[in-house]
Structure 1
Amino acid sequence: MSHEPPTPPAELPTDIVDTLNESSPELLRHVASYAEELAEHREREARLAEKEGEDEIEERPDELPDDVPSKATITIKEINDNRYYYWQWREGEKVTSKYKGPVDQDE
């Protein structure tokens, strides 16, 4: 590992780079975790908005639990360096999650 600090991406605004450079390692880890979750949320929102316009009725997958709607998608969350699958779907303004199981280490 290099003793030089990493070079920030060119797309990152200078004020954000300056703030991050002044932050503690603990705060940087919180920011990284939040940024990853926010990116997943926005990608999921985009997928949900894309699917909202589809009129096709899909068959209910066999693996889908009875209390999970067929419109649910699977997402991966990382908690304490462990990765888990969750079913997620929108109920009005709220996004609901239900645990599915651990992610196989070979994936």
Structure 2
Amino acid sequence: MEIVDALNEATPEHLRDAASYAEALAEHKEREARLKEEADDANVEECPDSLPDDVPAKATITIKEINDNRYYYWQWRDGDTVRSKYKGPVNPDD
């Protein structure tokens, strides 16, 4: 492997720099993956079995925040257009 050969020829100082960089890069990539997963979990839920007649089966439920209030919307792609239909408030008691 080219990386192994380069590391074998590196000075101890360069090896420490490479190790620090690799550790920081790994943490960055783990954080990005975790944030993406959390965003996916927070913003999109699986569609229940009972869809309104004008909402296709491929639709997902998305949470949108408008004026500090959170609402559920059905959302789906129709060609190049993303369509949405209001479902209801996230917290109906608020």
Tell me the TM-score normalised to structure 1 length: 0.41
Tell me the TM-score normalised to structure 2 length: 0.46
Bigger helix fraction: 2
Bigger strand fraction: 2
Q: Which has the higher contact order (CA 8 A, sep 6+)?
A: 2
In terms of Rg, which structure is larger?
Answer: 2
